[in-house]
Amino acid sequence: MAGQRRWATYTGQVEQDAAGQLWAVLYRDDDCRPGTELRREPVMSLRAGRRRVEQLVLAAADDDLELAGATDRNRNHCWSTDDRLPSPTDRRQAGAQPLV
């Protein structure tokens, strides 16, 4: 399968160190061994850590797509600035009545 790109997988989890500090940790390729993390950030609570892990995983996947140039290959599947919905300012300038 020449020319096919292997996509990275990302795993994130909330960890607690020996001092009791919570950390949001991002790993690549399901390799969750100590010292192999891509990113580690302190968090205040388990709930905040879960949200931060989600953001880290999604951001890493987005960066991976951008590096591969997938946005150029799939341009028809992405939103462009011409496809955006009109803003409230655009609607007012066009004379539209505000929604009540």
Are the beta carbons of 5 and 40 closer than 8 angstroms?
no
What is the residue type of 76? N
Judge whether 15 lies within some domain. Answer: yes
The answer to the question of residue 79 being in a domain is: no
pLDDT score of 78: 46
Q: For residue 98, tell me if it sits in a domain.
A: no
CA distance 64 to 40: 18
What pLDDT is attached to residue 77?
A: 46
Domain count within the chain? 1
Residue 96 lies in a domain: no
pLDDT given for residue 37 in this prediction: 82
pLDDT at residue 49 in the model: 96
Q: Identify the pLDDT of residue 71.
A: 47
Q: Residue 82 falls within a domain, yes or no? A: no
End-to-end CA distance of the chain: 57
Q: Is 55 helix (H, G, I), strand (E, B) or coil?
A: helix
21 part of a folded domain: yes
Over the stretch 23-49, which tens digit does the pLDDT of each residue have?
999 998 766 666 678 899 999 999 999
Considering the domain boundaries, does residue 44 fall inside one?
Answer: yes
56 lies in some domain: yes
pLDDT of residue 44: 96
- Domain span holding position 27: 7-69
Question: How far is the C-alpha of 36 from the C-alpha of 10, rounded, in Å?
Answer: 12
Ranges under pLDDT 50 in the chain? 1, 70-71, 73-82, 100
pLDDT of residue 61: 86
Assessment of whether the complete model's pTM goes beyond 0.75: no
